[in-house]
Amino acid sequence: MPPTEDLKNVPRHIAIIMDGNGRWAKERGLPRTEGHRQGAETVRRVSEGCNELGVEFLTLYAFSSENWKRPKREVDALMKLLELFLRQKTPEMQEQNIRLQAIGRLHDLPESCQAQLHRSIESTSQNTGLTLILALSYGGREEIVDGVKSLIESVERGHLDKGMIDIDVFGKHLYTRYYPDPDLLIRTSGEMRLSNFLLWQLSYTEFFITEKFWPDFGKDDLVEAVRAYGKRHRRFGAV
């Protein structure tokens, strides 16, 4: 970790679109699965770095709802990698006091992945350091649709009057209802789009784009992003 004494205003919540695993592997003549494996190691480094900086929440776009359209062989490899990552890294999360959570249509994951995810979440539930949130089978549009369905159900059951629905009430029906909106979004590989990630929650989030592929992103890059964030003036629509 590079010097951090000059850091000010560390973001409470960082969200990351982890992009470039496949291109990283292609540049090196390696299979895409090796890029994903290296990307999983970056998750470890960055989670550790956020914990050291005092970041409270880190949300990682780990597997999108659109990723199911990839070749079955790659999807199967990603699911196996996810399960292996959870099994191997949970003891480390325990040692580092990191609490694991997950958002998305988790029921779409293979049963073995769901079971391991549940075990990892349960075993880290009492930790009080960084909350690491994995967005799995996640899509921002899908989350909003599911939120609307949840609101309709609450109204139909008489738990909520439709006249009470506002921004705050709707937010309580989203996957992220237990977490604050991200202060900083980091996207690797230089792409300039949201890719259906946290569309509701990123309304006033500061962006940091780096050309580096995700496997090459390290703690020094994290500090650079946090330092850039500290220089921003967040007006939230005001003067």
Instruction: Taking each helix axis as running N to C, give the angle between helix 72-95 and helix 32-53, from 0 to 180 degrees, rounded to the nearest 10.
Output: 30
- Burial bucket for residue 149 (CB in 10 Å: 0-12, 13-18, 19+): exposed
Going by pLDDT thresholds of 50, 70 and 90, the confidence category of residue 8 is confident
With beta carbons less than 8 A apart as the criterion, state whether 223 and 7 touch. Answer: yes
Query: Whole-angstrom distance between the N-terminal and C-terminal Cα of the chain?
Result: 36
The whole-number pLDDT of residue 239 equals 53
β-pairing, 206-209 with 184-187?
parallel
Which listed residue (6, 9, 19, 161) is catalytic?
19
DSSP 105: -
Instruction: Name residues whose C-beta falls within 8 Å of residue 175's C-beta, 6 or more positions apart in sequence.
Output: 103, 104, 138, 143, 146
> Residues, the chain, total?
239
The whole-number pLDDT of residue 7 equals 81
- Is pLDDT at 44 greater than 90 in this prediction? yes
CATH of domain 13-139+181-230: 3.40.1180.10
Going by pLDDT thresholds of 50, 70 and 90, the confidence category of residue 232 is confident
Going by pLDDT thresholds of 50, 70 and 90, the confidence category of residue 234 is confident
The pLDDT tens digits for 54-95 are: 999 999 999 999 999 999 999 999 999 999 999 999 999 999
Share of the chain above pLDDT 70, in %: 96
Q: Considering the entire predicted model, what is its pTM?
A: 0.94
Cα–Cα distance list, 103 to 1, 71, 170, 230 (Å): 29, 23, 17, 28
Cα–Cα distance list, 219 to 42, 181, 212, 215, 224 (Å): 9, 23, 13, 12, 9
- Mean of per-residue pLDDT scores for the chain: 95
The pLDDT tens digits for 147-186 are: 999 999 999 999 999 999 999 999 999 999 999 999 999 9
Q: Could you confirm whether 168 is annotated as catalytic?
A: no
Which listed residue (9, 21, 51, 67) is catalytic?
67
